[in-house]
Structure 1
Amino acid sequence: MSSCLHVIGLGPAGLNQLTLGDYRLICNADKVFARTAQHPCIEDLKAEGICVESFDEIYAVETSFEAVYERITEKLRQELQKNSVVIYTVPGHPMVAEKTVQLIGERLTQDYKVIIHPAMSFVDEIFRVLKFDPIEGVLIKNYDGLKDAALTGQEWLVIPQVYDKLIASEVKLDLMNAYTDEAEVYVVQALGTALEQVDKLPLYQMDHGKFDHLTTIVIPPNTEVISFYKLADIMRTLRSEGGCAWDREQTHDTLKKYLIEETYEVLEAIEEKDMYNLCEELGDLLLQVVFHAQVASEASEFEIRDVLRGVIQKMIRRHPHVFGEEKAETADDVILTWDRIKLKEKENNRQPDLFNDPKGLPALMLASSTQRKVAKVGFDWPDLKGPWSKVLEELHELESAMAEGAGIREELGDLLFAIVNLSRFLELDPEEVLRDTVHKFQNRFLKMVELSGKKGSDFENLSLGEMDIFWEKAKSQEKSGNQV
Structure 2
Amino acid sequence: MSQISIVGLGPGSFGQLTVETLELLQNENKNYFRTAVHPVVKELEKRGIAYCSFDVLYEDCECFEDVYESIAEQLVKKAEAGQPLIYAVPGNPLFGEQSVINLMRKCQEKDISYQIYSGVSFVDISMTALKEDPVNGLKIIDAFEINEQIPDKTMGNLVTQVFNRHMASEVKLSLLDYYPDNYPVVLLINAGIPGQELIKEVPLCQMDWVEEINHLTTLYIPPDKNDLRSYQKLLEIMGILRSPEGCPWDRKQTHESLKAYLLEETYEVMDAIETEDTENLIEELGDLLFQIVFHAQLGREEGLFTFNDVLEGINQKMVRRHPHVFMATEEISTEKVLSNWDEIKKTEKQTQTISDEMERIPKAFTALMEACKVQSKAAKVGFDWEGPLDALKKVAEEEQEVRVEILKKCPDKLEEELGDLLFAVVNVVRLAKIQPEIALRKATQKFIMRFKEMEKITLNEQKSMLDYDLDGLEQLWQLVKSLKN
TM-score normalised to structure 1 length: 0.88
Q: How many Å separate the matches in 1 of 2:148 and 2:460?
A: 57
Q: How many Å separate the matches in 1 of 2:192 and 2:328?
A: 51
> Secondary structure in 1 aligned to 2:40?
helix
Q: In the TM superposition, what is the alpha-carbon distance from 1:285 to its structure 2 partner?
A: 0.7
> Are 2:359 and 1:355 aligned?
yes
Q: How many Å separate the matches in 2 of 1:243 and 1:289?
A: 19
How has the CA–CA distance of structure 1 residues 273 and 18 changed in structure 2, closer, same or farther, with 3 Å as cutoff? same
Q: How many Å separate the matches in 2 of 1:148 and 1:118?
A: 28
Q: 1:366-391: CA deviations, max 9, x gaps?
A: 11112223333554446656533321
Q: How many Å separate the matches in 1 of 2:185 and 2:390?
A: 69
Q: In the TM superposition, what is the alpha-carbon distance from 1:265 to its structure 2 partner?
A: 0.8
Q: Percent identity?
A: 40
Which stretches of structure 1, 4 residues or longer, exceed 6 Å deviation after superposition?
348-351
Q: Is the 8 A contact 1:12 1:192 kept in 2?
A: yes
The amino acid of 2:350's aligned partner reads E
Which residue number corresponds to residue 141 of structure 2? Answer: 141
Structure 2 counterparts to residues 2-17 of structure 1, below 5 A: 3-17=2-16
Which residue number corresponds to residue 55 of structure 2? Answer: 56
The amino acid of 2:98's aligned partner reads K
How has the CA–CA distance of structure 1 residues 14 and 325 changed in structure 2, closer, same or farther, with 3 Å as cutoff? closer
Q: How many Å separate the matches in 1 of 2:426 and 2:71?
A: 66
How has the CA–CA distance of structure 1 residues 429 and 348 changed in structure 2, closer, same or farther, with 3 Å as cutoff? closer
Q: How many Å separate the matches in 2 of 1:102 and 1:447?
A: 73
Q: In the TM superposition, what is the alpha-carbon distance from 1:424 to its structure 2 partner?
A: 2.6
> Are 2:442 and 1:436 aligned?
yes
> Secondary structure in 1 aligned to 2:126?
helix
Which residue number corresponds to residue 69 of structure 1? Answer: 68
Q: In the TM superposition, what is the alpha-carbon distance from 1:290 to its structure 2 partner?
A: 0.3
Q: How many Å separate the matches in 2 of 1:275 and 1:254?
A: 29
Picking from 367, 370, 387, the partner of 1:366 is 370
> Secondary structure in 2 aligned to 1:366?
helix
Tell which deviates more after alignment, 467-476 or 290-299: 467-476
> Secondary structure in 1 aligned to 2:258?
helix
Q: Is the 8 A contact 1:36 1:90 kept in 2?
A: yes
Q: Is the 8 A contact 2:7 2:118 kept in 1?
A: yes
Which residue number corresponds to residue 396 of structure 2? Answer: 392
> Secondary structure in 2 aligned to 1:23?
helix
Which residue number corresponds to residue 482 of structure 1? Answer: none
Which residue number corresponds to residue 156 of structure 2? Answer: 156
Gaps of 5+ in 2: none
Picking from 236, 244, 249, the partner of 1:246 is 249
Q: How many Å separate the matches in 1 of 2:188 and 2:404?
A: 86
Which residue number corresponds to residue 43 of structure 1? Answer: 42
Tell which deviates more after alignment, 11-20 or 376-385: 376-385
Picking from 225, 229, 232, the partner of 2:232 is 229
> Secondary structure in 2 aligned to 1:252?
coil
Structure 2 counterparts to residues 339-350 of structure 1, below 5 A: 339-347=342-350
Q: Is the 8 A contact 2:297 2:307 kept in 1?
A: yes
Q: In the TM superposition, what is the alpha-carbon distance from 1:303 to its structure 2 partner?
A: 0.9
How has the CA–CA distance of structure 1 residues 83 and 311 changed in structure 2, closer, same or farther, with 3 Å as cutoff? same
Q: In the TM superposition, what is the alpha-carbon distance from 1:108 to its structure 2 partner?
A: 5.1
Which residue number corresponds to residue 90 of structure 2? Answer: 91
Q: How many Å separate the matches in 1 of 2:85 and 2:309?
A: 51
Q: In the TM superposition, what is the alpha-carbon distance from 1:105 to its structure 2 partner?
A: 2.8
Q: Is the 8 A contact 1:172 1:206 kept in 2?
A: yes
Q: 1:401-438: CA deviations, max 9, x gaps?
A: 11222232221111111111222333222112212222
Q: How many Å separate the matches in 1 of 2:144 and 2:226?
A: 23
Which residue number corresponds to residue 431 of structure 2? Answer: 425
The total of aligned residue pairs comes to 478
Picking from 257, 282, 285, the partner of 1:282 is 285
Q: In the TM superposition, what is the alpha-carbon distance from 1:80 to its structure 2 partner?
A: 4.9
Q: How many Å separate the matches in 2 of 1:38 and 1:398?
A: 88
Q: 1:336-364: CA deviations, max 9, x gaps?
A: 22222222224399994641222221111
Q: How many Å separate the matches in 2 of 1:222 and 1:178?
A: 11
Q: Is the 8 A contact 1:150 1:227 kept in 2?
A: no
The amino acid of 2:362's aligned partner reads P
The amino acid of 2:239's aligned partner reads R
Q: In the TM superposition, what is the alpha-carbon distance from 1:22 to its structure 2 partner?
A: 2.7
How has the CA–CA distance of structure 1 residues 208 and 331 changed in structure 2, closer, same or farther, with 3 Å as cutoff? closer
Q: How many Å separate the matches in 2 of 1:75 and 1:454?
A: 91
TM-score normalised to structure 2 length: 0.88
Gaps of 5+ in 1: 480-484
Q: Is the 8 A contact 1:125 1:191 kept in 2?
A: yes
Q: In the TM superposition, what is the alpha-carbon distance from 1:319 to its structure 2 partner?
A: 2.4
> Secondary structure in 1 aligned to 2:240?
helix
Picking from 215, 218, 223, the partner of 1:216 is 218
> Are 2:322 and 1:319 aligned?
yes
The amino acid of 2:420's aligned partner reads D
Q: In the TM superposition, what is the alpha-carbon distance from 1:263 to its structure 2 partner?
A: 0.2
Which residue number corresponds to residue 189 of structure 2? Answer: 189
CA RMSD of aligned residues (A): 3.0
Q: Is the 8 A contact 1:169 1:207 kept in 2?
A: yes
> Secondary structure in 1 aligned to 2:193?
coil
Structure 2 counterparts to residues 115-134 of structure 1, below 5 A: 115-134=115-134
Q: Is the 8 A contact 1:22 1:117 kept in 2?
A: yes
The amino acid of 2:429's aligned partner reads S
Q: In the TM superposition, what is the alpha-carbon distance from 1:125 to its structure 2 partner?
A: 2.0
How has the CA–CA distance of structure 1 residues 463 and 346 changed in structure 2, closer, same or farther, with 3 Å as cutoff? closer
How has the CA–CA distance of structure 1 residues 403 and 310 changed in structure 2, closer, same or farther, with 3 Å as cutoff? same
Q: In the TM superposition, what is the alpha-carbon distance from 1:58 to its structure 2 partner?
A: 3.5
Q: Is the 8 A contact 2:5 2:116 kept in 1?
A: yes
The amino acid of 2:126's aligned partner reads I
Q: Is the 8 A contact 2:388 2:427 kept in 1?
A: no
How has the CA–CA distance of structure 1 residues 243 and 437 changed in structure 2, closer, same or farther, with 3 Å as cutoff? same
> Are 2:181 and 1:178 aligned?
no
Q: Is the 8 A contact 1:152 1:227 kept in 2?
A: no
Q: How many Å separate the matches in 2 of 1:208 and 1:331?
A: 46
Q: How many Å separate the matches in 2 of 1:335 and 1:206?
A: 45
The amino acid of 2:404's aligned partner reads S
> Secondary structure in 2 aligned to 1:254?
coil
Q: In the TM superposition, what is the alpha-carbon distance from 1:64 to its structure 2 partner?
A: 3.5
> Secondary structure in 2 aligned to 1:373?
helix
